[in-house]
Structure 1
Amino acid sequence: MSSVNPFAKRDSHTRGSVITYKVLTIVTWLLSVIVSLYYTFDYPHDGRYHHFRRIWDVNYLYPTGFTLNYLIVSLYWLAIFILQIGYIAHLFSSNVETVNAACAVGSHFIVNNLLHFGFVWLFVSGHFAWAELLLVLNFANLSSLYFRHNAYPRFIHTPAVSGPLAWTFVAIYWNGAIMIHHPDGLVARIFANIFVWSILAYGAFFIFVYRDYTMGFNLSVLSAALGVAQFHRQTIAFQWIFAFTIMAVLFVLTVIVAVPAALGRDAPFARRQTSDTERAPLLADN
Protein backbone atom coordinates (compact mmCIF):
# COMPACT_ATOMS: atom_id res chain seq x y z
CA MET A 1 0.00 0.00 0.00
CA SER A 2 2.87 2.38 0.85
CA SER A 3 4.26 1.90 -2.66
CA VAL A 4 1.30 3.77 -4.14
CA ASN A 5 0.72 6.22 -1.30
CA PRO A 6 2.47 9.51 -2.21
CA PHE A 7 2.42 10.58 1.47
CA ALA A 8 4.08 7.41 2.79
CA LYS A 9 7.42 7.92 4.53
CA ARG A 10 10.28 6.57 2.40
CA ASP A 11 14.04 6.49 2.76
CA SER A 12 14.64 6.38 -0.99
CA HIS A 13 12.85 7.33 -4.22
CA THR A 14 12.99 5.94 -7.71
CA ARG A 15 14.28 7.97 -10.64
CA GLY A 16 10.76 8.20 -12.04
CA SER A 17 9.27 9.48 -8.79
CA VAL A 18 12.04 12.09 -8.48
CA ILE A 19 11.25 13.37 -11.98
CA THR A 20 7.54 13.49 -11.10
CA TYR A 21 8.29 15.48 -7.95
CA LYS A 22 10.45 17.90 -9.93
CA VAL A 23 7.75 18.59 -12.52
CA LEU A 24 4.77 18.81 -10.15
CA THR A 25 6.69 20.87 -7.60
CA ILE A 26 7.76 23.47 -10.15
CA VAL A 27 4.35 23.67 -11.84
CA THR A 28 2.35 23.99 -8.61
CA TRP A 29 4.88 26.42 -7.10
CA LEU A 30 4.60 28.68 -10.14
CA LEU A 31 0.81 28.47 -9.88
CA SER A 32 0.96 29.48 -6.22
CA VAL A 33 3.39 32.35 -6.81
CA ILE A 34 1.68 33.74 -9.91
CA VAL A 35 -1.82 33.83 -8.39
CA SER A 36 -0.44 35.39 -5.18
CA LEU A 37 1.43 38.11 -7.04
CA TYR A 38 -1.40 38.77 -9.48
CA TYR A 39 -4.04 39.26 -6.79
CA THR A 40 -1.64 41.32 -4.71
CA PHE A 41 -1.12 43.92 -7.43
CA ASP A 42 -4.08 43.49 -9.78
CA TYR A 43 -7.38 41.70 -10.44
CA PRO A 44 -9.64 40.96 -13.45
CA HIS A 45 -11.24 44.12 -14.81
CA ASP A 46 -13.71 42.27 -17.05
CA GLY A 47 -17.30 42.95 -16.04
CA ARG A 48 -17.85 39.24 -15.47
CA TYR A 49 -15.39 39.39 -12.55
CA HIS A 50 -16.72 42.47 -10.77
CA HIS A 51 -16.77 40.59 -7.44
CA PHE A 52 -12.98 40.02 -7.49
CA ARG A 53 -10.69 42.28 -5.46
CA ARG A 54 -7.02 42.42 -4.61
CA ILE A 55 -5.94 40.51 -1.49
CA TRP A 56 -5.19 43.60 0.57
CA ASP A 57 -8.33 45.39 -0.60
CA VAL A 58 -10.30 42.58 1.04
CA ASN A 59 -8.10 42.77 4.13
CA TYR A 60 -8.99 46.42 4.76
CA LEU A 61 -12.53 46.31 3.38
CA TYR A 62 -13.49 43.94 6.22
CA PRO A 63 -11.72 45.25 9.36
CA THR A 64 -11.55 42.62 12.12
CA GLY A 65 -9.56 41.78 15.22
CA PHE A 66 -7.22 39.80 12.94
CA THR A 67 -6.66 42.33 10.17
CA LEU A 68 -3.00 42.11 9.13
CA ASN A 69 -0.47 44.67 7.93
CA TYR A 70 -0.08 44.22 4.16
CA LEU A 71 3.61 45.22 4.00
CA ILE A 72 4.89 42.82 6.67
CA VAL A 73 2.86 39.87 5.36
CA SER A 74 3.86 40.62 1.76
CA LEU A 75 7.54 40.64 2.76
CA TYR A 76 6.97 37.43 4.72
CA TRP A 77 5.57 35.69 1.66
CA LEU A 78 8.23 37.13 -0.60
CA ALA A 79 10.87 35.62 1.69
CA ILE A 80 9.03 32.27 1.73
CA PHE A 81 8.75 32.16 -2.06
CA ILE A 82 12.46 32.97 -2.45
CA LEU A 83 13.43 30.30 0.08
CA GLN A 84 11.19 27.84 -1.75
CA ILE A 85 13.41 28.28 -4.80
CA GLY A 86 16.20 26.91 -2.62
CA TYR A 87 14.00 24.01 -1.59
CA ILE A 88 13.22 23.20 -5.22
CA ALA A 89 16.95 23.31 -5.98
CA HIS A 90 17.41 20.46 -3.48
CA LEU A 91 15.43 18.23 -5.87
CA PHE A 92 18.19 18.75 -8.46
CA SER A 93 21.07 18.11 -6.05
CA SER A 94 23.75 15.56 -6.92
CA ASN A 95 23.58 14.34 -3.31
CA VAL A 96 21.17 11.39 -3.07
CA GLU A 97 20.35 12.04 0.60
CA THR A 98 19.47 15.66 -0.16
CA VAL A 99 17.18 14.63 -3.02
CA ASN A 100 15.47 12.01 -0.85
CA ALA A 101 14.90 14.57 1.91
CA ALA A 102 13.37 17.03 -0.57
CA CYS A 103 11.17 14.31 -2.09
CA ALA A 104 10.01 13.18 1.35
CA VAL A 105 8.16 16.45 1.85
CA GLY A 106 7.30 16.82 -1.85
CA SER A 107 3.75 15.44 -1.84
CA HIS A 108 2.68 17.67 1.04
CA PHE A 109 4.40 20.66 -0.54
CA ILE A 110 2.57 20.10 -3.84
CA VAL A 111 -0.77 19.84 -2.01
CA ASN A 112 0.09 23.01 -0.08
CA ASN A 113 0.69 24.88 -3.34
CA LEU A 114 -2.62 23.74 -4.80
CA LEU A 115 -4.57 24.58 -1.64
CA HIS A 116 -2.85 27.96 -1.37
CA PHE A 117 -3.81 28.70 -4.97
CA GLY A 118 -7.42 27.73 -4.24
CA PHE A 119 -7.50 29.77 -1.05
CA VAL A 120 -6.27 32.95 -2.75
CA TRP A 121 -8.78 32.61 -5.59
CA LEU A 122 -11.69 32.01 -3.18
CA PHE A 123 -10.56 34.77 -0.82
CA VAL A 124 -10.36 37.50 -3.44
CA SER A 125 -13.69 36.42 -4.91
CA GLY A 126 -15.41 36.71 -1.53
CA HIS A 127 -16.08 33.01 -0.92
CA PHE A 128 -14.71 33.13 2.62
CA ALA A 129 -16.41 29.97 3.93
CA TRP A 130 -14.90 27.84 1.16
CA ALA A 131 -11.58 29.62 1.61
CA GLU A 132 -11.69 28.71 5.30
CA LEU A 133 -12.30 25.08 4.42
CA LEU A 134 -9.18 25.02 2.23
CA LEU A 135 -7.15 26.65 5.00
CA VAL A 136 -8.29 23.99 7.48
CA LEU A 137 -7.45 21.22 4.98
CA ASN A 138 -4.03 22.74 4.38
CA PHE A 139 -3.46 23.08 8.12
CA ALA A 140 -4.12 19.34 8.44
CA ASN A 141 -1.83 18.65 5.47
CA LEU A 142 1.04 20.76 6.82
CA SER A 143 0.60 19.53 10.39
CA SER A 144 0.88 15.95 9.15
CA LEU A 145 3.99 16.97 7.23
CA TYR A 146 5.53 18.64 10.27
CA PHE A 147 4.98 15.82 12.73
CA ARG A 148 6.23 13.19 10.28
CA HIS A 149 9.13 15.14 8.75
CA ASN A 150 10.56 17.66 11.18
CA ALA A 151 14.21 16.61 11.22
CA TYR A 152 15.36 17.80 7.80
CA PRO A 153 17.81 20.66 7.16
CA ARG A 154 16.43 24.15 7.79
CA PHE A 155 16.64 25.09 4.10
CA ILE A 156 14.06 22.39 3.41
CA HIS A 157 12.14 22.74 6.66
CA THR A 158 11.62 26.52 6.69
CA PRO A 159 10.24 27.12 3.16
CA ALA A 160 8.35 23.84 2.77
CA VAL A 161 7.14 23.15 6.31
CA SER A 162 7.32 25.77 9.07
CA GLY A 163 6.86 28.88 6.92
CA PRO A 164 3.60 27.77 5.24
CA LEU A 165 2.34 26.13 8.47
CA ALA A 166 2.80 29.28 10.56
CA TRP A 167 1.00 31.34 7.91
CA THR A 168 -1.86 28.87 7.58
CA PHE A 169 -2.43 28.87 11.34
CA VAL A 170 -2.71 32.67 11.43
CA ALA A 171 -4.68 32.81 8.17
CA ILE A 172 -7.39 30.58 9.65
CA TYR A 173 -8.11 33.37 12.15
CA TRP A 174 -7.62 36.10 9.53
CA ASN A 175 -10.08 34.67 7.04
CA GLY A 176 -12.35 33.22 9.73
CA ALA A 177 -12.86 36.64 11.30
CA ILE A 178 -13.82 38.07 7.91
CA MET A 179 -16.19 35.14 7.35
CA ILE A 180 -18.23 36.10 10.44
CA HIS A 181 -21.28 38.20 9.57
CA HIS A 182 -20.40 40.99 12.02
CA PRO A 183 -16.60 40.73 12.21
CA ASP A 184 -16.13 44.09 13.94
CA GLY A 185 -18.80 43.72 16.62
CA LEU A 186 -18.16 43.71 20.37
CA VAL A 187 -18.48 39.93 20.72
CA ALA A 188 -16.10 39.37 17.80
CA ARG A 189 -13.55 41.73 19.36
CA ILE A 190 -13.75 39.92 22.70
CA PHE A 191 -13.23 36.55 21.02
CA ALA A 192 -10.31 38.02 19.05
CA ASN A 193 -8.74 39.20 22.31
CA ILE A 194 -8.97 35.64 23.61
CA PHE A 195 -7.99 33.63 20.55
CA VAL A 196 -4.97 35.80 19.72
CA TRP A 197 -3.17 34.14 22.65
CA SER A 198 -3.36 30.81 20.82
CA ILE A 199 -0.59 32.15 18.57
CA LEU A 200 1.70 32.33 21.59
CA ALA A 201 0.65 28.87 22.81
CA TYR A 202 1.13 27.38 19.35
CA GLY A 203 4.56 28.91 18.86
CA ALA A 204 5.70 28.02 22.38
CA PHE A 205 4.69 24.39 21.77
CA PHE A 206 7.09 24.04 18.85
CA ILE A 207 9.86 25.94 20.63
CA PHE A 208 9.71 23.91 23.85
CA VAL A 209 8.84 20.48 22.43
CA TYR A 210 10.77 20.54 19.14
CA ARG A 211 13.19 23.41 19.86
CA ASP A 212 12.15 24.76 16.46
CA TYR A 213 13.13 28.41 16.37
CA THR A 214 11.89 28.78 12.78
CA MET A 215 8.28 28.42 13.93
CA GLY A 216 8.89 30.89 16.74
CA PHE A 217 10.40 33.44 14.37
CA ASN A 218 7.70 32.98 11.71
CA LEU A 219 4.89 33.46 14.21
CA SER A 220 6.62 36.47 15.80
CA VAL A 221 6.75 38.15 12.37
CA LEU A 222 3.08 37.43 11.74
CA SER A 223 2.23 38.69 15.24
CA ALA A 224 4.05 41.91 14.35
CA ALA A 225 1.89 42.18 11.22
CA LEU A 226 -1.19 41.77 13.40
CA GLY A 227 0.01 44.30 15.96
CA VAL A 228 0.85 47.02 13.43
CA ALA A 229 -2.48 46.66 11.63
CA GLN A 230 -4.48 46.65 14.87
CA PHE A 231 -2.65 49.72 16.17
CA HIS A 232 -3.50 51.70 13.03
CA ARG A 233 -7.05 50.36 13.06
CA GLN A 234 -7.91 51.17 16.68
CA THR A 235 -5.31 52.76 18.95
CA ILE A 236 -7.42 52.43 22.11
CA ALA A 237 -7.74 48.64 22.15
CA PHE A 238 -6.21 45.53 23.67
CA GLN A 239 -5.61 43.59 20.45
CA TRP A 240 -2.48 45.40 19.28
CA ILE A 241 -1.04 45.32 22.81
CA PHE A 242 -1.63 41.58 22.99
CA ALA A 243 -0.17 41.05 19.51
CA PHE A 244 3.03 42.95 20.28
CA THR A 245 3.36 41.12 23.61
CA ILE A 246 3.07 37.78 21.80
CA MET A 247 5.59 38.94 19.20
CA ALA A 248 8.10 39.93 21.92
CA VAL A 249 7.74 36.70 23.91
CA LEU A 250 8.06 34.49 20.83
CA PHE A 251 11.05 36.45 19.59
CA VAL A 252 12.84 36.13 22.94
CA LEU A 253 12.12 32.39 23.07
CA THR A 254 13.34 32.10 19.49
CA VAL A 255 16.64 33.77 20.35
CA ILE A 256 17.05 31.56 23.44
CA VAL A 257 16.82 28.49 21.19
CA ALA A 258 18.52 29.81 18.05
CA VAL A 259 21.72 31.14 19.62
CA PRO A 260 22.69 27.88 21.39
CA ALA A 261 21.75 25.94 18.22
CA ALA A 262 24.09 28.15 16.17
CA LEU A 263 26.85 27.47 18.72
CA GLY A 264 26.17 23.73 18.75
CA ARG A 265 24.78 23.72 22.28
CA ASP A 266 21.45 22.71 23.82
CA ALA A 267 18.86 25.32 24.73
CA PRO A 268 18.63 26.06 28.48
CA PHE A 269 15.32 24.16 28.75
CA ALA A 270 16.29 21.32 26.38
CA ARG A 271 16.20 17.80 27.70
CA ARG A 272 19.20 15.54 27.62
CA GLN A 273 19.71 13.67 24.38
CA THR A 274 17.84 10.41 24.15
CA SER A 275 17.52 7.71 21.56
CA ASP A 276 14.30 9.32 20.33
CA THR A 277 15.79 11.24 17.42
CA GLU A 278 12.38 11.88 15.91
CA ARG A 279 11.67 14.43 18.68
CA ALA A 280 14.75 16.49 17.77
CA PRO A 281 13.93 18.88 14.94
CA LEU A 282 16.01 19.83 11.93
CA LEU A 283 18.13 22.66 13.34
CA ALA A 284 21.19 21.34 11.60
CA ASP A 285 22.10 21.97 8.03
CA ASN A 286 23.24 18.44 7.30
Structure 2
Amino acid sequence: MDRLNNINPFAKRDSHSAGAVVTYKVLTVVTWLLSLITSVYFTFPKGDWNHRYHPHTVWDADYYNPSGFTQHYLITSLFWLALFILQLGYIVHLFSSSVETVNAACAVGSHFIVNNLLHFVWVLLFVYGHTVWSEIVLILNFVNLTSLYFRHNSYPRFIHLPAVSGPLAWTFVAIYSNGAIMVPHHTSLVARIFANIAIWSILGYGMFFVLLYKDYTMGFALSVLSASLGVAQFERQVIAFQWIFAFTIMAVLFVFSVLVAIPAWTGKDVPIGRRATTNDTERAPLLADP
Protein backbone atom coordinates (compact mmCIF):
# COMPACT_ATOMS: atom_id res chain seq x y z
CA MET A 1 0.00 0.00 0.00
CA ASP A 2 2.83 2.41 0.82
CA ARG A 3 4.42 1.66 -2.53
CA LEU A 4 1.14 2.37 -4.30
CA ASN A 5 0.81 5.69 -2.48
CA ASN A 6 4.35 6.61 -3.50
CA ILE A 7 3.55 6.24 -7.21
CA ASN A 8 -0.03 7.56 -7.04
CA PRO A 9 0.04 11.24 -8.11
CA PHE A 10 -3.32 11.83 -6.40
CA ALA A 11 -2.30 10.45 -3.00
CA LYS A 12 -2.49 12.96 -0.16
CA ARG A 13 1.00 13.99 0.99
CA ASP A 14 2.29 16.53 3.47
CA SER A 15 5.68 16.82 1.74
CA HIS A 16 7.05 16.43 -1.76
CA SER A 17 10.48 15.61 -3.12
CA ALA A 18 12.48 18.16 -5.08
CA GLY A 19 11.89 16.21 -8.27
CA ALA A 20 8.15 16.10 -7.69
CA VAL A 21 8.04 19.86 -7.05
CA VAL A 22 9.84 20.54 -10.34
CA THR A 23 7.42 18.24 -12.16
CA TYR A 24 4.43 20.02 -10.64
CA LYS A 25 5.85 23.39 -11.60
CA VAL A 26 6.42 22.43 -15.24
CA LEU A 27 3.15 20.55 -15.79
CA THR A 28 1.08 23.15 -13.97
CA VAL A 29 2.47 26.05 -16.01
CA VAL A 30 2.21 24.18 -19.33
CA THR A 31 -1.35 22.90 -18.81
CA TRP A 32 -2.54 26.24 -17.41
CA LEU A 33 -1.20 28.05 -20.48
CA LEU A 34 -2.84 25.44 -22.71
CA SER A 35 -6.18 25.97 -20.97
CA LEU A 36 -5.82 29.77 -21.00
CA ILE A 37 -4.75 30.15 -24.64
CA THR A 38 -7.42 27.75 -25.91
CA SER A 39 -10.14 29.49 -23.89
CA VAL A 40 -9.12 32.95 -25.11
CA TYR A 41 -8.74 31.81 -28.73
CA PHE A 42 -12.23 30.31 -28.84
CA THR A 43 -13.85 33.20 -26.97
CA PHE A 44 -13.27 35.89 -29.59
CA PRO A 45 -14.57 35.55 -33.19
CA LYS A 46 -12.09 35.46 -36.05
CA GLY A 47 -12.26 37.88 -38.95
CA ASP A 48 -12.68 35.12 -41.52
CA TRP A 49 -15.07 33.01 -39.44
CA ASN A 50 -18.04 31.33 -41.07
CA HIS A 51 -20.22 28.43 -40.05
CA ARG A 52 -19.06 26.06 -42.74
CA TYR A 53 -15.28 26.18 -42.58
CA HIS A 54 -14.40 27.40 -39.10
CA PRO A 55 -15.38 26.25 -35.62
CA HIS A 56 -17.74 28.28 -33.49
CA THR A 57 -16.50 30.26 -30.55
CA VAL A 58 -17.78 29.04 -27.20
CA TRP A 59 -20.40 31.80 -27.21
CA ASP A 60 -21.45 31.18 -30.81
CA ALA A 61 -22.19 27.60 -29.81
CA ASP A 62 -24.41 28.93 -27.02
CA TYR A 63 -26.03 31.59 -29.21
CA TYR A 64 -27.06 29.19 -31.96
CA ASN A 65 -28.27 26.61 -29.41
CA PRO A 66 -30.24 28.61 -26.81
CA SER A 67 -31.52 26.68 -23.82
CA GLY A 68 -32.79 27.17 -20.30
CA PHE A 69 -29.18 27.18 -19.07
CA THR A 70 -27.60 29.53 -21.59
CA GLN A 71 -25.25 31.94 -19.82
CA HIS A 72 -24.40 35.56 -20.56
CA TYR A 73 -21.19 35.73 -22.55
CA LEU A 74 -19.76 38.83 -20.85
CA ILE A 75 -20.43 37.88 -17.22
CA THR A 76 -19.12 34.34 -17.60
CA SER A 77 -16.12 35.57 -19.59
CA LEU A 78 -15.28 37.99 -16.77
CA PHE A 79 -15.71 35.11 -14.30
CA TRP A 80 -13.15 33.09 -16.24
CA LEU A 81 -10.81 36.07 -16.57
CA ALA A 82 -10.83 36.50 -12.78
CA LEU A 83 -10.36 32.77 -12.30
CA PHE A 84 -7.36 32.63 -14.64
CA ILE A 85 -5.77 35.59 -12.85
CA LEU A 86 -6.29 33.91 -9.48
CA GLN A 87 -4.86 30.69 -10.87
CA LEU A 88 -1.76 32.59 -11.90
CA GLY A 89 -1.46 33.67 -8.27
CA TYR A 90 -1.76 30.04 -7.23
CA ILE A 91 1.00 29.06 -9.67
CA VAL A 92 3.28 31.74 -8.24
CA HIS A 93 3.00 30.02 -4.85
CA LEU A 94 4.56 26.90 -6.38
CA PHE A 95 7.74 28.96 -6.68
CA SER A 96 7.57 30.30 -3.12
CA SER A 97 10.60 30.18 -0.85
CA SER A 98 8.38 28.74 1.90
CA VAL A 99 8.48 24.94 1.94
CA GLU A 100 5.08 24.79 3.62
CA THR A 101 3.50 26.97 0.92
CA VAL A 102 5.06 24.91 -1.88
CA ASN A 103 3.89 21.64 -0.32
CA ALA A 104 0.36 22.99 0.07
CA ALA A 105 0.30 24.12 -3.56
CA CYS A 106 1.69 20.79 -4.76
CA ALA A 107 -0.92 18.88 -2.76
CA VAL A 108 -3.66 19.91 -5.19
CA GLY A 109 -1.35 19.96 -8.21
CA SER A 110 -2.30 16.64 -9.80
CA HIS A 111 -6.02 17.41 -9.77
CA PHE A 112 -5.39 20.95 -11.01
CA ILE A 113 -3.32 19.65 -13.93
CA VAL A 114 -6.07 17.19 -14.85
CA ASN A 115 -8.62 20.02 -14.62
CA ASN A 116 -6.59 22.12 -17.06
CA LEU A 117 -6.29 19.25 -19.54
CA LEU A 118 -9.98 18.37 -19.34
CA HIS A 119 -11.00 22.00 -19.72
CA PHE A 120 -8.82 22.23 -22.84
CA VAL A 121 -10.47 19.12 -24.29
CA TRP A 122 -13.94 20.38 -23.37
CA VAL A 123 -13.46 23.68 -25.21
CA LEU A 124 -12.39 21.91 -28.40
CA LEU A 125 -15.23 19.39 -28.27
CA PHE A 126 -17.84 22.01 -27.42
CA VAL A 127 -16.98 24.51 -30.13
CA TYR A 128 -16.91 21.76 -32.76
CA GLY A 129 -20.37 20.62 -31.71
CA HIS A 130 -19.49 17.30 -30.07
CA THR A 131 -21.79 18.00 -27.13
CA VAL A 132 -22.17 14.39 -25.98
CA TRP A 133 -18.41 13.93 -25.66
CA SER A 134 -17.98 17.38 -24.12
CA GLU A 135 -20.62 16.46 -21.53
CA ILE A 136 -18.69 13.29 -20.68
CA VAL A 137 -15.54 15.37 -20.25
CA LEU A 138 -17.36 17.75 -17.90
CA ILE A 139 -18.64 14.85 -15.81
CA LEU A 140 -15.12 13.40 -15.59
CA ASN A 141 -13.81 16.76 -14.47
CA PHE A 142 -16.63 17.09 -11.96
CA VAL A 143 -15.55 13.77 -10.43
CA ASN A 144 -11.92 14.94 -10.45
CA LEU A 145 -12.69 18.27 -8.77
CA THR A 146 -15.16 16.77 -6.30
CA SER A 147 -12.50 14.29 -5.21
CA LEU A 148 -10.09 17.20 -4.87
CA TYR A 149 -12.56 19.21 -2.81
CA PHE A 150 -13.35 16.55 -0.24
CA ARG A 151 -9.73 15.45 0.11
CA HIS A 152 -8.19 18.93 0.18
CA ASN A 153 -10.73 21.44 1.48
CA SER A 154 -8.60 22.84 4.30
CA TYR A 155 -5.98 24.79 2.38
CA PRO A 156 -5.88 28.62 2.37
CA ARG A 157 -7.88 30.79 -0.01
CA PHE A 158 -5.02 31.39 -2.44
CA ILE A 159 -5.10 27.65 -3.20
CA HIS A 160 -8.74 26.78 -2.59
CA LEU A 161 -10.50 29.40 -4.72
CA PRO A 162 -8.50 29.22 -7.97
CA ALA A 163 -7.70 25.50 -7.92
CA VAL A 164 -10.71 23.95 -6.18
CA SER A 165 -13.97 25.85 -5.60
CA GLY A 166 -13.86 28.14 -8.65
CA PRO A 167 -13.35 25.39 -11.25
CA LEU A 168 -15.80 23.10 -9.42
CA ALA A 169 -18.54 25.75 -9.40
CA TRP A 170 -18.07 26.37 -13.11
CA THR A 171 -18.04 22.66 -13.95
CA PHE A 172 -21.25 22.02 -12.02
CA VAL A 173 -23.11 24.77 -13.90
CA ALA A 174 -21.50 23.85 -17.23
CA ILE A 175 -22.83 20.29 -16.95
CA TYR A 176 -26.33 21.78 -17.11
CA SER A 177 -25.63 24.28 -19.90
CA ASN A 178 -23.77 21.71 -22.02
CA GLY A 179 -26.31 19.00 -21.21
CA ALA A 180 -29.24 21.23 -22.16
CA ILE A 181 -27.76 21.78 -25.62
CA MET A 182 -27.07 18.06 -25.97
CA VAL A 183 -30.71 17.11 -25.43
CA PRO A 184 -32.92 17.11 -28.57
CA HIS A 185 -35.72 19.71 -28.66
CA HIS A 186 -34.08 21.70 -25.86
CA THR A 187 -36.25 24.73 -26.70
CA SER A 188 -39.51 22.84 -26.20
CA LEU A 189 -41.97 23.46 -23.38
CA VAL A 190 -40.99 20.20 -21.68
CA ALA A 191 -37.33 21.21 -21.74
CA ARG A 192 -38.18 24.62 -20.28
CA ILE A 193 -40.18 23.05 -17.45
CA PHE A 194 -37.32 20.67 -16.69
CA ALA A 195 -34.91 23.63 -16.68
CA ASN A 196 -37.22 25.50 -14.27
CA ILE A 197 -36.93 22.56 -11.87
CA ALA A 198 -33.28 21.67 -12.40
CA ILE A 199 -32.02 25.21 -11.83
CA TRP A 200 -32.83 24.92 -8.11
CA SER A 201 -30.10 22.30 -7.76
CA ILE A 202 -27.62 25.18 -8.09
CA LEU A 203 -29.05 26.65 -4.90
CA GLY A 204 -29.02 23.30 -3.09
CA TYR A 205 -25.47 22.58 -4.23
CA GLY A 206 -24.19 25.98 -3.20
CA MET A 207 -25.93 26.00 0.17
CA PHE A 208 -24.47 22.58 0.94
CA PHE A 209 -20.97 24.03 0.82
CA VAL A 210 -21.84 27.38 2.40
CA LEU A 211 -23.65 25.90 5.39
CA LEU A 212 -21.76 22.66 5.93
CA TYR A 213 -18.21 23.76 5.05
CA LYS A 214 -18.60 27.53 5.56
CA ASP A 215 -17.24 27.84 2.03
CA TYR A 216 -18.24 31.33 0.93
CA THR A 217 -15.96 31.12 -2.12
CA MET A 218 -18.22 28.43 -3.58
CA GLY A 219 -21.28 30.54 -2.73
CA PHE A 220 -19.90 33.66 -4.40
CA ALA A 221 -18.77 31.72 -7.50
CA LEU A 222 -22.18 30.11 -7.96
CA SER A 223 -23.96 33.42 -7.35
CA VAL A 224 -21.96 35.04 -10.18
CA LEU A 225 -22.76 32.16 -12.53
CA SER A 226 -26.43 32.33 -11.49
CA ALA A 227 -26.40 36.05 -12.32
CA SER A 228 -24.93 35.22 -15.72
CA LEU A 229 -27.67 32.69 -16.31
CA GLY A 230 -30.34 35.13 -15.17
CA VAL A 231 -29.21 37.95 -17.47
CA ALA A 232 -28.99 35.62 -20.48
CA GLN A 233 -32.44 34.19 -19.80
CA PHE A 234 -33.94 37.66 -19.33
CA GLU A 235 -32.51 38.82 -22.66
CA ARG A 236 -33.82 35.71 -24.34
CA GLN A 237 -37.36 35.71 -22.95
CA VAL A 238 -38.64 38.39 -20.60
CA ILE A 239 -41.88 36.59 -19.76
CA ALA A 240 -40.45 33.43 -18.20
CA PHE A 241 -39.71 31.90 -14.83
CA GLN A 242 -36.08 30.92 -15.50
CA TRP A 243 -34.48 34.34 -15.09
CA ILE A 244 -36.57 35.02 -11.97
CA PHE A 245 -35.40 31.74 -10.45
CA ALA A 246 -31.79 32.47 -11.43
CA PHE A 247 -31.76 35.89 -9.76
CA THR A 248 -33.46 34.47 -6.67
CA ILE A 249 -30.77 31.80 -6.41
CA MET A 250 -28.09 34.44 -6.93
CA ALA A 251 -29.48 36.62 -4.13
CA VAL A 252 -29.85 33.78 -1.61
CA LEU A 253 -26.36 32.43 -2.27
CA PHE A 254 -24.84 35.91 -2.10
CA VAL A 255 -26.53 36.80 1.20
CA PHE A 256 -25.58 33.56 2.92
CA SER A 257 -22.02 33.78 1.55
CA VAL A 258 -21.68 37.27 3.01
CA LEU A 259 -23.00 36.02 6.36
CA VAL A 260 -20.24 33.40 6.36
CA ALA A 261 -17.50 35.59 4.86
CA ILE A 262 -17.68 38.59 7.19
CA PRO A 263 -17.10 36.62 10.42
CA ALA A 264 -14.34 34.65 8.69
CA TRP A 265 -12.60 37.83 7.54
CA THR A 266 -12.88 39.40 10.99
CA GLY A 267 -11.71 36.28 12.80
CA LYS A 268 -15.00 35.66 14.56
CA ASP A 269 -16.95 32.43 14.68
CA VAL A 270 -19.45 31.88 11.91
CA PRO A 271 -22.99 31.73 13.36
CA ILE A 272 -24.17 29.15 10.81
CA GLY A 273 -22.81 25.83 9.66
CA ARG A 274 -20.57 23.42 11.46
CA ARG A 275 -17.36 24.29 13.24
CA ALA A 276 -14.08 23.23 11.72
CA THR A 277 -12.80 20.10 13.40
CA THR A 278 -9.14 20.65 12.74
CA ASN A 279 -6.91 21.95 15.50
CA ASP A 280 -4.77 23.85 13.01
CA THR A 281 -6.75 27.06 12.60
CA GLU A 282 -4.58 28.21 9.72
CA ARG A 283 -5.81 25.26 7.67
CA ALA A 284 -9.47 25.50 8.64
CA PRO A 285 -11.71 25.38 5.60
CA LEU A 286 -10.52 28.20 3.45
CA LEU A 287 -10.54 30.81 5.43
CA ALA A 288 -7.97 31.39 8.04
CA ASP A 289 -5.28 33.02 5.96
CA PRO A 290 -5.53 36.77 5.45
Q: TM-score normalised to the size of structure 1?
A: 0.96
User: What is the CA–CA distance in structure 1 between the aligned matches of 2:253 and 2:144, rounded to whole Å?
Assistant: 24
Contact 2:111 2:145 in 1 (8 A): yes
> Within the alignment, does 1:68 sit opposite 2:105 as a pair?
no
User: Which residue pairs with 1:110 in the alignment?
Assistant: 113
Which amino acid letter does the alignment assign opposite residue 206 of structure 1? F
Q: Of 182, 186, 201, which residue of structure 2 is paired with 1:183? A: 186
SS at the partner of 1:41?
Answer: coil
Shift of 1:274: 4.2
User: Which residue pairs with 2:127 in the alignment?
Assistant: 124
> Within the alignment, does 1:216 sit opposite 2:246 as a pair?
no
Where structure 2 has 5 or more consecutive residues not aligned to the other structure, the ranges are none
> Within the alignment, does 1:50 sit opposite 2:53 as a pair?
yes
| 1:172-206 Cα distance to aligned partner (Å, 9 max, x none) | 00000000111110110000000000000000000
Shift of 1:50: 2.1
Which amino acid letter does the alignment assign opposite residue 133 of structure 1? I
Contact 1:210 1:280 in 2 (8 A): no
Tell me the matched-pair count: 286
Contact 2:131 2:181 in 1 (8 A): yes
Show structure 1 runs of 4+ deviating over 6 A.
46-49, 276-279
Contact 1:151 1:282 in 2 (8 A): yes
User: Which residue pairs with 2:286 in the alignment?
Assistant: 282
Contact 1:170 1:222 in 2 (8 A): yes
User: What is the CA–CA distance in structure 2 between the aligned matches of 1:47 and 1:160, rounded to whole Å?
Assistant: 35
Cα distance, 1:49–1:121 mapped onto 2, change above 3 Å: farther
User: Which residue pairs with 2:206 in the alignment?
Assistant: 203
User: What is the CA–CA distance in structure 2 between the aligned matches of 1:259 and 1:46, rounded to whole Å?
Assistant: 47
Shift of 1:268: 1.3
SS at the partner of 1:40?
Answer: coil
User: Which residue pairs with 1:6 in the alignment?
Assistant: 9
Which amino acid letter does the alignment assign opposite residue 39 of structure 1? F
Give matches, 1:19-38, under 5 Å: 19-38=22-41
Shift of 1:42: 3.4
Give matches, 1:121-200, under 5 Å: 121-200=124-203
Which shows bigger deviation, 262-271 or 207-216? 262-271
Contact 1:227 1:241 in 2 (8 A): yes
Shift of 1:266: 1.4
Q: Of 205, 228, 231, which residue of structure 1 is paired with 2:231? A: 228
Where structure 1 has 5 or more consecutive residues not aligned to the other structure, the ranges are none
Cα distance, 1:44–1:127 mapped onto 2, change above 3 Å: farther
| 1:47-98 Cα distance to aligned partner (Å, 9 max, x none) | 9972610111111111100010000000000000000110000100000010
Contact 2:276 2:285 in 1 (8 A): no
Q: TM-score normalised to the size of structure 2?
A: 0.95
SS at the partner of 1:217?
Answer: helix
Cα distance, 1:102–1:84 mapped onto 2, change above 3 Å: same
User: Which residue pairs with 2:88 in the alignment?
Assistant: 85
Shift of 1:211: 0.1
Shift of 1:282: 1.7
Contact 1:73 1:225 in 2 (8 A): yes
Shift of 1:280: 4.4
Shift of 1:254: 0.4
User: What is the CA–CA distance in structure 1 between the aligned matches of 2:195 and 2:243, rounded to whole Å?
Assistant: 11
Cα distance, 1:265–1:35 mapped onto 2, change above 3 Å: same
Which amino acid letter does the alignment assign opposite residue 126 of structure 2? F
User: Which residue pairs with 2:267 in the alignment?
Assistant: 264
SS at the partner of 1:283?
Answer: coil
